[in-house]
Structure 1
C-alpha cells in the first residue's frame, strides 16, 4: 500500500478536518476556543495552507495529524503528499488542497465537479472516492460529488473568507454511514 493511502485506525473513527489556517510566528494563531472542540477526535486531517510546522505540532498534542500540502506549508512528513486517500469502514476519502487545480472541480466557491472528475480521481486516488475533502477557499461548503458522495470543505478556523464564520469539519466514519458537520469556532 502506498504511503499516500492511509487506513483509518478503527471502526467509527472521529476525524477533525482543518485547512487554510496559515499559522506563522508573529502571525495568525489558533484561537483558544478551537482546542476544546477538537478533544475526543481520533485523527486530525489537514488540507493544506496550515503554515509553519509549529501549528501541526500543536494539533499533534491533541491527536495524530495527517494531511496534504498546500502552497503555504513547510516541509513535513505529515503533509508531504499533494493528494491522499483514507480508507476504512467501507469508505474511500480523498484529500486535496485545491480541487480545481487538481482537475476535480470546475469551480470551488461554491464547489462544482469537473466534467473529468472521474479521471482525476483515478489519477490522484487510484479510483473513485465516496467523500472528497478539499480546501483553499476559506469558506465551508458541501456539494454532491460522484454518484453517491459529497465534496466537503471545512473552511478556515482562523482566517475565514469575507462573510464566513471561523469553522472546521467533524467527520465520523462508521460502517452505518459517514457523517460530517461543520463546526463554528466561537
Structure 2
C-alpha cells in the first residue's frame, strides 16, 4: 500500500499533486486545508482522510475532526494538525503519546519537513510532510509517499512539488 501525505495547502491546489500522487491508495491531509475543494480534488486521485488545522474555517471544522486515529495495513495511525515535534510536543501531545503511542504520528503546522523514529515512544514514526501550499516561510513545497508492506513502513519518498521535471 502507498499513502500520499501532505499538509498546509492553505487553499492552494498545486497543479503537480494529481500526477505526483497518482497511484497512491490513500491520501492523508494533516490540516490547514484552507478550501474544502482541495480535498475534493485529491479525491479524484484516491480516497482522502483529513483533519482541520488552525486556519480552517467553521465549515471545515464541521466536516473534519481535529484528530483522526485509524488503522492502515495493521498500523495504528494518529493524525492531527498541531502536535509539535519529538522533544517539543504541543497541546498536551507528549502526555497523550506517552499514554498510548501510535505506530505513526502524522502532523503539520510547522511547515518543516521532518520524518524520524521516536525510540522512547516505542519506535513511533513521526511524520511532518512540510507544506504543499504557497503561504508560509517554507522555501519548498513538499509532500510524501509512504510505502507500507507486510504491516511495516518500508519507504518514504519526499516529493518536491516545484522541482523541474
TM-score higher than 0.5 here?
Answer: yes
**Contact 1:170/1:180, CA 8 A, preserved across alignment:** yes
The number of residues matched between the two structures is 157
The answer on 1:57 being equivalent to 2:18 is no
Unaligned runs of 5+ in 1: 1-12, 24-28, 101-107
Quickly say closer, same or farther: Cα 1:78–1:141, change in 2 above 3 A: farther
Q: Tell me which moved more, 169-178 or 44-53.
A: 169-178
| CA–CA separation in structure 1 for the residues paired with 2:14 and 2:125 | 28
Q: Which residue of 1 aligns with 2:67?
A: 83
Q: State which of 131, 138, 142 in structure 1 corresponds to 2:115.
A: 142
Q: What TM-score comes out, normalization by structure 1 length?
A: 0.73
Partner SS, residue 102 of structure 2 = coil
1:140-178 superposed Cα distances (whole Å, 9 cap, x missing partner): 112332221221100112237545311001112222620
**Could you list the runs of 5+ residues in structure 2 that have no partner in the other structure?**
none
Provide the alpha-carbon RMSD of the alignment: 2.6
| Equivalent runs, 1:19-168 vs 2, <5 Å | 19-23=7-11, 29-74=12-57, 75-76=59-60, 80-100=64-84, 108=85, 111-112=86-87, 114=89, 119-121=95-97, 127-145=100-118, 146-159=121-134, 161-162=136-137, 164-168=139-143
> Following TM superposition, where does structure 1 have runs of at least 4 consecutive aligned residues deviating by more than 6 angstroms?
none
